[in-house]
Chains A and B, each alone.
Chain A
Amino acid sequence: MIRIPCPFCGERDHSEFGYGGDGTIVYPALDAPAEEWVEAIFERENICGVQSETWQHVNGCRMWLLIERNTMTHEIQSVRPAHEGVAKALEESK
């Protein structure tokens, strides 16, 4: 059981979260050519080591989080709200 420290709710079991995907993808503009979309949604890395990924605290605050996780050990290196504005506000509130 991975334990994820949600910045809003505290440390919780991963079963409370939904997995999103690769957190480094920059999605193309909606009118971008299909090739760019193919790259963004199909051509994914399979990282052995630390990977940046998105999770949603579905059964909690419902916030989308950006998490750095080691795919070999499940060690979580960092967690922050995926929304930069929210992340910044949270940082400033500390």
Chain B
Amino acid sequence: MSARRLQSGGLIDRTQTLRFKWDGRDMTGFAGDTLASALLASNERVLARSFKYHRPRGIMSAGVEESGALVTVGTGDRRDPNVRATTQELYGGLVANGQNAWPSVRHDVSAVNGLFGRFFAAGFYYKTFMGIPPFEWGSGTGMWMQYEKIIRRAAGMGEASRAPDPDRYEHGHTHCDVLVVGSGPAGLAAAHTAAEAGLEVLLVEQDCELGGAYLSEPGAVEERQNAIKALNDAGVRIMTRTTAFGLYDYSVAGLLERVTDHLSAPSEHLPRQRFWTVRARYTVVASGALERSIAFGDNDRPGVMTAAAGRTYLNRYGILPGSKVIVATTNDSAYTGAAELCRAGAAVTVLDARRSVDNSVLDLARNAGTGLRLGAAPLRAIGGKGVYSLDLAASDGDGWRADGSENCDLVLVSGGWSPVVNLSSHRGAKPVWDAENACFMPAASDEPLTMAGSAAGIWNTKGCIASGQVAGAHAAKALGKSAPAASAPSAGGWASPIRPVYEVTVPRKKLKSFVDPQHDVTTSDVRLAHREGYVSVEHLKRYTTLGMATDQGKMGNIIGLALMADALGKDIPEVGTTTFRPPYTPISIGALSGSSVGAHFRPLRRTPMHDWNLEQNGTMTEAGLWQRPWYFARAGETITEAYIRETDTVRKTVGLCDVTSLGKIAVQGPDATELLNRVYTNPFAKLAIGKARYGIMLRDDGMVMDDGTTWRLSDTDYFMTTTTAHAAKVMVWLEELLQTRWTDLKVHVTTVSEQWAGCAVAGPKCREVLEACVADKTVMSSEAFPFMGVIETTLKGGMPCRIARISFSGEMAYEAYVPSDYAMPLMEMLWKAAEARDGCLYGTEALGALRIEKGHVTGAELDGRVTIDDAGLGKMASPKKSFIGSAMRSRGDMGREDRPRLVGIFPKNRTQSFNAGSILCAEGKVEGLGEGWITAVTHSPELGHWIGLGFISSGYEPWAGKTVIAADPVRKGNIEVEIVSPHMVDPSGERMHG
């Protein structure tokens, strides 16, 4: 191939030279070039190596369907693999490299893969993976992993950067009346018609320029400019470099806007790409059609490309892509381009597979002076890194016979056109086979969606414009506007019908003919799949990987389908088509995640004491979305030393802990008591005003949902607390019950988690601390404020406060809540009093240790599989009333005595520790699912050794005195443990009653 840039012509700007690097070499192109056109103009032929066989590959198209020129763009942390050179706009300073080759795509040592082709044939992966019988080489997965390493290294695509993505991405949302996808003649006409009808129109185009097919039409410059001006005048919103990659329910479209991928030095405030969600009322899809190739021998050689691509390189990029060109076609569409190439100075021969063609078409070629052969087709491309001649075939009955060869440096192929039905396929509309035009047409849709132009199988510009106008009028009518009547053109539009040719072969000649060049799938692979019994196209696809590459088979799917139909002796529609799924073209993961990365991955919830906790040297940890203090290390302390000291201090003097993250719900109304009595397992009907009660909620199916305390503030006003983890779920649950199930109950529930900040004051000196803080210390007396009592009072300085005497630590303790704005002064005041009494601040690590010592359950235990009896809280289930879950909680196996029950765990050798997540097994039977599991482990300062909580079948009594194995095969191995009561410290609860 000897391609060269012409002195004039095209839409490039020859006054703006752009310098870029290709495979380490300095090259130049012009503004308006793609990377592919710049490389083609420099006569670079081999731009890539193929996936499996490392065959040299060049440019095959001029657009998104590119299956050959896949390259890596950028360096370092901006290295982007598998970029289609045909859609990458050139910019000054661009750095691109060939991929899947060493040392370079031009000289690739792995090309020997071609010689070992049989290992890479269809199904090789599956056959090996399934395990060849052991007496053969390669049994089972062990050997597979060995092969896999080698194959992965040899076969592959480009390699992404392993560094974090330095770019930013944005998500955007927008609305419009009519979304028009594609700005070719049809899209421009549709957008204009809809806008003129008074509708708000958004036109999106994946290219950097509007115009679609106009851009490759030298005679359409003015027409295109006029159409664009009319759109601007009509107020159409236009987004270029924007791909509509998917259509979803309710006319929602997903767009990817490439904001800076074409810029040398993007401004820092710009995101690299924007991911748009568009809510349109009507969608017109004018996404065009893609030209298909034909399967013939070595049809993947550099220098074989689509006929339309040849025309685009000539007319849009001002490049004569070859000096001796063979145009092989099955339809009328290639003739105009052939004539143009001829006039531009190339020697051109047209091979038309058809034996007779309408004179109006033939005249195009004759008048330009091209050679012409009817009933002729390409048989095999000759040449390694570039084609230099073509073996020809002549039509022979239904088949072909060899018919000499002809020298050439470029082969342009048109096997017919496939409307881009992807977007309508996303909506579940199965494409319909049109035998006359040899393509799948989009099916009619019940949705506010119309296909227009060549996407609807209309092959000429006039028809496409008319079809766009009709689509625009459809949209207008659907949305209650009127538009001038237009008559719909019929599909097709060629002077002579296409001859459907998918493959050219002659008897007794072995050819390597590619169906899906990107995945190196050949015609023999498809036949192999058929011989091995695959009949469904979906199976064919998976077995051969046909159409499963990044291009989703845009060029080759129909060839594969036709070959399968032929092998099965069926028609193409009987074999079916595969369903296209979003995205139409690949999307970066960065664009999908948008700004939801790092610290922005999810919302961050800070308590109003957050800054105060940090000032006190608190180390924070995540509890769901919340940031909670984990531990407060003093000089030189490790986390273990810190939490052991904190635990010890709580047991001996007093500790303060930020408990704001607990869920808090105001339950109010005349029927509030009745609601609580129904959702909690224990009785709430007679809870006195000024008292709190610990309660457990079950789900309908009888499993434990959540636990917490609920405080009665007045006859009709309760303050409910939930666990941090289940706060939102409990709120939704209460709302569901009140709005859908118990609609007669007069209760209102309001989340007040954000309104109240809370601090636990725990330890023998807790009352002293609060006495120092309340305005009137008599409210704290044991008589006035007994265990489980609740008071609403005022702290010094007039701070309103509600306090309950409840304990999670097993020590005498209070929880004090103030309106969130008072959080900081509350902590200041409490800490002053606590510090004076040798108290401490404690975090979740110590909180965990204290509750494990006491055998209190949390989310680690209440994992949705646990009944109230399993958790050892069966006494909390009232036998005297019915509540949510009461009917179901002891059905069938739920009542079995040998269910795993909550237990405490000690290491047999008290100096040892063990891990949460270990499996509990009977001694000598370390196998299977074991007898139970460990949910939480801590070091107990009180007991002086490591302890745990967990579940074991039948509970602790039958295991007393026995050795049990805590099996943790991936970490510590087996540790001998003893099973004890879960109440490991102060089982009688004397301390908290004070």
Contact = CB atoms under 8 A, between A and B. Distances in A.
Contact of A2 (B250, B700, B732, B886): B250
B575 interface: no
A30 B740 contact: no
A42 B743 CA distance: 23
Contacts of A40: 700
Contact of B884 (A30, A42, A62, A85): A30
Q: Could you say which of B279, B700, B739 has the most chain A C-beta atoms within 10 Å of its C-beta?
A: B739
Contacts of A41: 700-701, 888
B249 interface: yes
Contacts of B883: 30
Nearest to A84: B743
Nearest to B749: A62
Interface string A20-48: 10010001111111101110111000000
A86 B891 CA distance: 36
A1 interface: yes
A3 B279 CA distance: 10
Nearest to B254: A1
B740 A83 contact: yes
A23 B886 CA distance: 23
Contacts of B248: 1
Contact of B735 (A27, A28, A64, A74): A64
A83 B743 contact: yes
Contact of A37 (B277, B735, B736, B887): B887
A31 B305 CA distance: 76
Contacts of A28: 887
Interface residues of A, number: 35
A1 B277 contact: yes
A73 B248 CA distance: 11
A23 to B, nearest CB: 8
B681 to A, nearest CB: 11
Interface string B696-737: 000011000000000000000000000000000000100110
A64 B736 contact: yes
Most chain B C-beta atoms within 10 Å of own C-beta, residue among A30, A32, A33: A30
Contact of B887 (A23, A31, A81, A83): A31
B891 A38 contact: yes
A82 interface: yes
Contact of B740 (A29, A54, A74): A54
Interface residues of B, number: 25
Contacts of B279: 1, 3
Contacts of A56: 732, 735-736
A51 to B, nearest CB: 16
A23 B738 CA distance: 14
B252 A64 contact: no
A18 B732 contact: yes
A90 interface: no
A67 interface: no
Nearest to B894: A34
A63 B888 contact: no
B702 to A, nearest CB: 9
A64 B884 contact: no
Given A1-B252, A3-B250, A83-B740, A33 B887 contact: yes
B623 to A, nearest CB: 21
B488 to A, nearest CB: 26
B110 interface: no
B78 interface: no
B884 A82 contact: no
A89 to B, nearest CB: 12
Interface in B230-264: 248-250, 252
A40 B700 CA distance: 10
B735 A62 contact: yes
Contact of B249 (A20, A23, A63, A74): A74
Nearest to A85: B743
A66 B732 CA distance: 15
B250 A63 contact: no
Interface string B202-226: 0000000000000000000000000
A34 B891 contact: yes
B581 interface: no
A66 B446 CA distance: 25
B700 A37 contact: yes
Nearest to A3: B250
Interface of A: 1-3, 18, 20, 23, 27-34, 36-38, 40-42, 54, 56, 58, 62-64, 66, 73-74, 81-86
